[in-house]
Amino acid sequence: MNARTLNILGLGLVGIVGIAFLILTPRFAELDTVLELTVYMIMAVLSLSLALIWGYGGILCFGQSAFFGLGAYTYAIAMFNIGESTVPFLLAIALPAAFAALLGYFVFYGRISDVYLGVITLTVTLILFNSINSTAGPEFHIGAARLGGFNGIPGIPALNYPGNKAAAVDLEGMFYLSTAALLVTYFGLRLLLASRFGRIIVGIRENERRAELLGYDPRAYKLVTFTIGGALAGFAGCLFANWGNFVSPTIFGLAQSAQIIIWVIVGGRGTLIGPIIGCIGIQWLTTALGANQPSGSDWWTKLLANAPFIFGVILIAFVLLVPKGLVPTFGDFGQWLLRARTRRVAAASLEPKQAEEG
Amino acid sequence: MAEPLLQTRDLSMHFGGVKAVRNVNFTLAEGELRCLIGPNGAGKSTFFKMLTGQLQPSLGQVLFRGHDISKAHAHEIARLGIGIKTQVPSVFDGLSVRENIWLAASRIHNRHRVNAVVDEMLERIGLTSAANRLVGQLAHGQRQWVELGIVLSTDPDLILLDEPAAGMTHEEVNKTAELVREINRSKALIVVEHDMQFIRMIAKQVTVFNQGSVLVEDSVENILRNPLVRDVYLGKQAAA
Ligand SMILES: Nc1ncnc2c1ncn2[C@@H]1O[C@H](COP(=O)(O)OP(=O)(O)OP(=O)(O)O)[C@@H](O)[C@H]1O
Ligand SMILES: [Mg+2]
């Protein structure tokens, strides 16, 4: 089996599993499970935004939540002012994308080094956190939308079918929409990465100087990649604001920013399916840990129910033991198995010969 | 006289107090093959970096077909038609040989033509059977060939080769010399090399660098006879 057939098989598998999941889940699962799975799907879209810019573009952004949060807030604010969701939906993608383009322009064209990009994006998200956090008073409003400060914005109107304000998307509809969004994002990114543009950004990640000496302008390619990442994170933010009909400044917080990076590290950079698996797995673990309140009062039962502690351990374990992340490591293991089999076959075909000689 | 392909005027590069290149006036005609030699630290690689936009000259100018490119970005210079094989091979180690060549070729060819061009180049550098291997896993000599293939695939009018034969076997060196002569049928080249055997195989005109300046410029026969050149290579201070 060569790489190409494996690739096509993989794509087919993801498609079949994804569509089966999309169709079957609401039929067999309880509503609260469907609700839970919906947010996993939304966060997986967010994880893909970092998978693209970091895993393929080599741009380490510590503040991907800035664009996620901007998307959510933009949707909320626009929704209270407009009422029909088509424009708010588009704004929730366009505004974070424009913000990413502006930030990226200064960073990439200003020749600021990659490490500083991490620091700058982290700072930006913390600035957003602090600014929005301090807008609790009624004097802070944009049009009809009160920003609400640390209390957040509750009661955000749901998306409606384009152009039809009366036909709002219900909970089950949100599940379909979010799962479809994930599938479309995944396959869209696969297409992008197989295109000339996608191959060039990987080349730039591998050796920026060489790409430059071949005549590619790395600044332009990174800017476009970063902007697409911002748009995707904003899109996820819009879905998230719809999911709970609520958004608060914690969306910009350090915990949220760190989580996205952990999803990608655990799942594996340089793949798309990895960060999706990392994202869903870790969120599932968070829920499971939260549900299992410690029954005993031993220090170790308490420790095991302490989610940040567990995540810390997982992160360190991955960085030290599985630095490439789950999916690439499985890939290596699979290749090793294939090679081992080829060796065995080769050895078996040699045996009769040796027997003749002996 | 026809306009030269490349010309530098008082080109200089200072690193703090170190004058790595000083006041170099260098001229290369269209289609010329020039060898650049000189002891370690003479400033050859620094000179190349200024020609390709990897370093901004401290002083002086670089003119390529009359355009001043001394302040241009590396990618702009590449698009004007200067390609470089760097001293430390600069390739895409994490990608396959084919992808390396593809990335170079697709800068100038559209997607209908690019795959055929890549196949041709793989054949030309003798790596067709290794096309799907990761470049990082290849032997040093083969990585040099990949880099040559990358540079040739963007079809530059001027090709700079910084020690192309380093780390190659005797056989590979011969093959490289042959390739350089073949490239020179249609392109101009500047080749930096320490291997005198190799220089003899390819050179017509040679420029000798010493301590950042041009020491002499002459035909290869005269350079090899020149006692001054012998002295700088033996580490003696040049009398002049
Ligand atoms: N980035 C830098 N910063 C400071 N000094 C530098 C830098 N690059 C080169 N040099 C110095 O400039 C001088 C010329 O270096 P260069 O690499 O151009 O020499 P070279 O002729 O290519 O030598 P070699 O034959 O060993 O490759 C050396 O003294 C080197 O130490
Ligand atoms: Mg050098």
Sorted by sequence, the CB contacts under 8 Å of residue A33 that are 6+ apart come out as A25
Give the pLDDT confidence score for residue A155 in this predicted structure.
87
Decide if pLDDT at A358 tops 60: no
Decide if pLDDT at B218 tops 90: yes
- For the domain spanning B1-14+24-81+159-167+188-240, the CATH number is 3.40.50.300
Q: Which of A9, A2, A76 is nearest to A241 (CA)?
A: A76
Residue B81 Cα, gap to closest chain A Cα (Å): 9
Give this prediction's pTM. 0.91
Where does ligand 1 bind, in terms of residues with CB under 6 Å? Answer: B 15, 18, 20, 38, 40-46, 87
Instruction: Give dist(CA A133, CA A130) in Å, integer.
Output: 5
Instruction: Give dist(CA A309, CA A306) in Å, integer.
Output: 5
Give the pLDDT confidence score for residue A354 in this predicted structure.
43
Per residue in B65-106, pLDDT tens? Answer: 999 999 999 999 999 999 999 999 999 999 999 999 999 999
Ligand 1: which residue has its CA nearest to atom 18? Answer: B43
Distance of CA B218 to the CA centre of its chain: 19
What residue ranges do the domains of chain B occupy?
1-14+24-81+159-167+188-240
Q: Does A213 touch chain B (CB under 8 A)?
A: yes
Per residue in A179-223, pLDDT tens? Answer: 999 999 999 999 999 999 999 999 999 999 999 999 999 999 999
Q: Which of B61, B83, B78, B22 is nearest to B213 (CA)?
A: B22
Instruction: Give A2-66 as a DSSP string.
Output: -HHHHHHHHHHHHHHHHHHHHHHHHHHS-HHHHHHHHHHHHHHHHHHHHIIIIIIT----TTHHH
- The amino acid present at A295, given as its one-letter code, is S
Give the pLDDT confidence score for residue A356 in this predicted structure.
39
SS3 at position A295: coil
Helix (H) or strand (E) holding B36: strand B33-37
Ligand 1: which residue has its CA nearest to atom 4? Answer: B15
Instruction: Of A242-246, A325-329, B43-47, give the lowest mean pLDDT range.
Output: A325-329
Q: A76: which 2 tokens?
A: 């909320």
| Residue B32: count of CB within 10 angstroms of its CB | 18
Q: Which of A114, A125, A13, A6 is nearest to A64 (CA)?
A: A125
| ipTM of the prediction greater than 0.95, yes or no | no
Matching residue, tokens 């699979």: A334
Per residue in A144-167, pLDDT tens? Answer: 778 888 888 998 999 988 888 888
Give the pLDDT confidence score for residue A205 in this predicted structure.
96
What residue ranges do the domains of chain A occupy?
38-252
Percent of chain A with pLDDT over 90: 58
**Which of B52, B93, B111 is facing A213, going by the closest CB pair?**
B52
Q: Considering only CB atoms, which chain A residues are within 8 Å of B96? A: none
Q: Does B38 touch chain A (CB under 8 A)?
A: no
Matching residue, tokens 């490591």: A329
Phi and psi of A125, rounded to 5°?
-70, -35
Decide if pLDDT at A305 tops 90: no
In testing the pocket of ligand 1, which one of B19, B44, B47 has its CB within 8 Å of the most ligand atoms? Answer: B44
